[in-house]
Amino acid sequence: MSILVVGSVALDNIETPFGKKDNAVGGSAVYIALAANYFTKPVRVVGVVGDDFPQEYIDLLDVKMIDIEGLRVIEGGKTFRWGGRYHYDLNMRDTLFTELGVFENFDPVIPDSYKRSMYVCLGNIDPVLQKKVLLQIDKPRLVICDTMNYWIEGKPDDVAEILKLVDGLLINDSEARMLASNPNLIIAANAILEMGPRFVIIKKGEHGALLATKETIFFAPAYPLENIQDPTGAGDTFAGGFIGWLARTDDVSDENLKRAVIYASTLASFCVEEFGIDGIRDLSYLSIQDRFREFKNLSHVSS
């Protein structure tokens, strides 16, 4: 089944205690698309870059058969740039700079060939733009979106509106607490379900993720990695693995949402093992399956 991904495409300067990389390709749309692309085709990207965006990155997406008809290149424009430095324990980071460039006036236009996409993943962008995307496409089978504190605080009414339009919300734990105004994640999850979506996935970093629907609650641990190089893009990779599995199986039952959460965690675990996109650049489907099975065993106990 087809997947439509809308989000940022960026050049990142990343510093962690384990190294440093400048001008790495990044942005939510890139991580989501690379992860989802292991599960199904076509994966279609809508985004914007300047003409400083290196051709090698275009070629990379192209060679992976990711559909980039919707990736607009603005002549004379600058690509969105972000610089971040992670602390010792990798759970905290400082943003060193943000240069929005052409992303500041991003106005997602959905090509005709994208309009019948069945699965839609709205990366963490302005909720007004997220809504604009949904108004341009035929009714898809499933829409998920990400959001963040910046929008929850700055555009609460627009966030509330998008939550009525999507099937699922993916959100960090601190942002879930903020959105629901409650520190208890279970109460927060239920409060978010009251806001509209059929399911919510709360991402807890090294502590895994929790999936809640009206009928189900499910906990997935994070994969026990000793070697974490760079958490950049882990949340977006999670989203890409999640929607990728759903689109591949075309099954949105609660039980399959659980499997999708484990595939999401699986892809995120590969992501953090290397810098930038390197960890999810060239995986085999077999290695994904192997780690998925290990993941299931992490919390399995025989009766």
Residues that bind a second copy (CB under 8 A): 88-91, 177, 183-187, 190, 204, 206-208, 210, 217-221, 224-226, 228, 255, 258-259, 262, 296, 298-303
What kind and span of H or E run contains 293?
helix 285-298
Rounded CA separation 296/179 (Å): 30
- Reading the block at residue 276, the tokens are 């930038």
Q: How far is CA 153 from CA 147, 148, 289, in A?
A: 11, 9, 39
* CB closer to a second copy, 81 vs 259: 259
Q: Do 260 and 242 contact (CB within 8 A), yes or no?
A: yes
Shortest separation between residue 303's beta carbon and a second copy, angstroms: 8
User: Are 278 and 25 in contact, with CB atoms under 8 Å apart?
Assistant: no
- Between 137 and 185, whose beta carbon lies closer to a second copy? 185
Nearer to a second copy, 56 or 215 (CB): 215
User: What residues form DSSP beta bridges with 131?
Assistant: none
Length of the chain: 303
- Closest to a second copy by CB, 148 or 222: 222
CB of 262 to a second copy, least distance (A): 6
- Cβ at position 103, least distance to a second copy in Å: 33
Min dist. Cβ of residue 4 to a second copy (A)? 27
Least spacing, CB of residue 246 vs a second copy, in Å: 14
**Is the CB of 18 or the CB of 150 nearer to a second copy?**
18
Q: Which two tokens stand for residue 105?
A: 């006036």
| CB closer to a second copy out of 4 and 210 | 210
Report the C-alpha gap between 10 and 52 in whole angstroms: 11
Q: What are 201's strand-pairing partners?
A: 170, 211
| Least Å from the CB of residue 5 to a second copy | 25
Phi, psi dihedrals of residue 86, rounded to the nearest 5°: -90, 145
